[in-house]
Amino acid sequence: MKGFRQFLLRGNVLDLAVAVVMGAAFGAVISALVKDLITPLIAAIVGKPDFSAIAFEINGSKFLLGDFINALLSFLLIAAAVYVFVVLPVNAFTARMRRGEAPLDPTTKKCPECLSAVAIAARRCAFCTSALDTH
């Protein structure tokens, strides 16, 4: 039981739980935004009274095209928000952290004959067997 408690109280598990709850709440807000504001705005522009009610029927099966478009818009808005508020700042932060680091030494070099990548210490190309400079 002690190991299970330690597992639950680790930072990663708690962070993940908080992220899931926040993501669900954010998804609900975006879905409401699309359903209650964006969809009626598009419907007003297009001239349809209820954009989300657009549907068609084939052989008695009803296809809810408007609901699908609502879900697609919600997904696109959530993806854009995650990209702008999470991905871009994290990328900028990691680039700033790596700015002072020296680049890693290369582990491969190009064969001058066939342009294949070969190990830096190789004396012959494994692909075309040409002799390589050892400098």
Same domain, 63 and 123: no
Same domain, 85 and 110: no
More confidently predicted of 55 and 9:
55
Same domain, 27 and 59: yes
Residue with tokens 């068609």: 56
Query: How far, in Å, CA of 121 to CA of 133, rounded?
Result: 9
- Looking at every residue in the chain, the average pLDDT score rounds to 83
Residues near 77 by beta carbon (within 8 Å), at least 6 away in sequence: 30, 33, 34
Same domain, 27 and 80: yes
**67: exposed, middle or buried (Cβ count in 10 Å: 0-12, 13-18, 19+):** middle
Same domain, 94 and 113: no
Same domain, 50 and 18: yes
Same domain, 114 and 65: no
CB 132 within 8 A of CB 122: yes
Same domain, 21 and 60: yes
The domain that holds 92 is classified in CATH as: 1.10.1200.120
CB 56 within 8 A of CB 66: no
CB 54 within 8 A of CB 67: no
Same domain, 86 and 122: no
Same domain, 83 and 118: no
Same domain, 27 and 92: yes
Look up the domain containing 120 and give its range: 104-135
More confidently predicted of 13 and 59:
59
54 pLDDT tier (thresholds 50, 70, 90)? confident
- If one counts the domains in the chain, the total is 2
pLDDT tens-digit profile of 62-121?
A: 998 888 888 888 888 888 888 898 889 988 988 888 887 777 778 889 998 899 999 888
